[in-house]
Amino acid sequence: MTFTNYSALKYTLKQTLVFLSWVPVLYVINEHVAFVGVVEGLSMKPTLNPESNGAKLDHVVLWKWNCKSIQNLNVNDVVFLRSPINPETVYVKRIKAKQGDLVVPRYPDTRSRVLVPVNHLWVEGDNIHSIDSNTYGPISSGLIIGKAVYIIWPWTRIGPIPTGGRECRESRLSERGG
């Protein structure tokens, strides 16, 4: 082996090792700190994915660090969560109530009330036809994958996640007189 071939091989091996040493770091960041999530479906329309044709799905920065702690989640945060019915399915919903809140469900009977248990959340899609806590009840905060904090795609929609959805907490409804 000539000196130039040895030098090129040594350089290639060094670059490969540097690259491979970053794989675990990127994995940890991806799994535990932040991730780019793609919002699919219409449950958050018109806040996310306002285009009907589905060609421009919103991509959001998904903050994962310490997001399962109920103290780090707020009413009106948009979250990615595992479905309580099928854990293989991921939903995107808005937190509408936290533990201890009394909720007025959307249907089937708006006269009934639901008390959100400890370490649980009431989540709803901004679209009235969303499958959400009105269907399956309060969800455990352990099902939360991450909190959507910023839209990064499409370029025309870059910015923080807009607020939206209905108010369903009985205490807030009575404050507003309705």
Active centre residues (catalytic): 43, 93
Residues 6 or more apart whose CB falls under 8 angstroms from that of 45 comprise 126, 127
Structure-block tokens of residue 7: 């030098």
* Of 160, 120, 97, residue with least CA distance to 106: 97
Which residue reads 């091996």 in tokens?
13
For residue 123, the Cα-to-chain-centroid distance in whole angstroms is 11
Please tell me the distance from the alpha carbon of residue 76 to that of residue 136, in angstroms, as a whole number. Answer: 19
By CB neighbour count within 10 A (0-12 exposed, 13-18 middle, 19+ buried), where does 7 fall? exposed
50-79 in b/e form (b: 16+ CB < 10 A) is eeeeeeeebbbbbbbeebeebeebebebbb
